[in-house]
Amino acid sequence: MSGQTRGAEPGEPGSAAPAVDGRTAGAPPTYRADLAAKPPKLRVKGLSVTYIGRDGHETEAVRDVSFDIEDKPGAGEIVVFLGPSGCGKSTILKAVAGLIPPTAGDILVDGHPVTGPGRDRGMVFQAYTSFGWLTVRDNVEYGLRLQGMPASERRALSDQYLASVGLTEFANRFPKDLSGGMKQRVAIARTLINQPRVILMDEPFGALDPQTRWGMQGLLLDVSRTMDNTILFVTHDVSEAVYLADTIYVLSARPARILHQVETPFFQNRDMALKSAPEFRAVEKRLLDMLYAPGAATA
C-alpha cells in the first residue's frame, strides 16, 4: 500500500513521500525498480467526481483522491474508507466499479484502465440488490452461470458460500422472504463466489445484528487471507474499521479527500479478544480524534 501525491509516480525521482498516519514521512524519495516493473493491483490517481443534476446543479463529491494497492500474490488486503455521511465514500467505490465515470483522474486494475464494470471487480452495494425473481441459491450462482460453469460445480460452490453466510436453510426461498440482513448476506455470497480480484463493499454489514456482524467480519478476514483478493470496504464504524483493515483512509467531509492514512498493526492476530486490547483501543481513539477533532475530517 502506498498513498501518493498527484503529478509524480510513487517511487519516481521527484515524488513526495506519502503522508502516513497523519505525519509526512521525511525519507527522501527513492526509485524502486521492482515496483516500477509491476503495476499495482489497483491504482486510483487524481480521482475527482462531480455530479451534474438534470437542472444543471453541480455536486462535487470526490476531489483528487489518489492511492495505490500493490499486488501481493498470496496475501489479501483490506483497505477501509472511513468518513462522515455524504462525504463521497460510495462515489469512490462506484467509480472503481466502473459505474460512474470520473470527472478527472484515472483508475487502473493491473495496469488496465477501468472503462466500465468488469469481472475483475465485484461490488456489494449499500442497498440490498438481490434479484427478486431468483431463489437465494440462484442469486448466489448468478455470476457462475454467466461464466458458463456446469451446474454440479456451481452447486458445490454455492453450498459452500451459502453455508459460510449462514443461509443453507434458505437456499430455495426468494429474497422477499428474507430479512434485510439476510438479503445483504445473499449479496455478499453472490459477490464472493465469483472471486473478483477487487471486491468493493459499501457498508455491507450495516443491517446486521452484532453477532451476525462479527461472524461476517470473520468471514471477510478469512476470505482476504486465503483468496488473495483486495477488498475496499466502506464503514462508519470505527471499531469495524480497525478490526478489518490493513490500511485505513480517513476522508474529509464532502468533497471526499484523503486526510490520513493509518496502517493497523494486527495483521497476523485478529480474534475477538483483540477488540478489547489496549493497542486496539489506542488506534480507535486516534481515528476518533481524526474524525471528530475540530478542523479534522469535518473541515
Span near ligand ATP by CB under 6 A; candidates 2-10, 88-96, 115-123, 224-232:
88-96
Cell of 174: 426468494
Q: Are 3 and 261 in contact (CB under 8 A)?
A: yes
Identified binder of ligand ATP from the candidate list 88, 105, 143, 175, rule CB under 6 A = 88
Separation between Cα atoms, residue 66 and residue 44, nearest integer Å: 5
Is 86 a binding residue for ligand ATP by CB under 6 A? The answer is: yes
AA identity, residue 9: E
Question: Whole-angstrom Cα distance, residue 281 to residue 243?
Answer: 10
Give the interface segment with ligand ATP, choosing from 85-93, 143-151, 215-223, 286-294 (CB under 6 A): 85-93
Q: Looking at beta carbons only, is 85 or 115 nearer to ligand ATP? A: 85
Asked whether position 101 contacts ligand ATP by CB under 6 A, the answer is: no
Q: Does 51 bind ligand ATP (CB under 6 A)?
A: yes
How many residues form the binding site for ligand ATP (CB under 6 A)?
14
Return all residues near 40 (Cβ < 8 A) that are at least 6 apart.
68, 69, 70, 71, 108, 111
Q: Which is nearer to ligand ATP, 85 or 276 (CB)?
A: 85
143 binds ligand ATP (CB under 6 A): no
Beta bridge partners of 295: none
User: Helix (H) and strand (E) counts for the chain?
Assistant: 8, 13
Cell 525519507 sits at which residue?
27
Residues in 89-128 at the binding interface with Mg ion, rule: CB under 5 A: 90, 126
* Pick from 121, 51, 113, 117: nearest CA to 86: 51
Nearest CB to ligand ATP, comparing residues 91 and 264: 91
Tell me if 73 contacts ligand ATP by CB under 6 A.
no
Q: Which residues bind ligand ATP (CB under 6 A)?
A: 51, 53, 59, 61, 83, 85-91, 126, 254
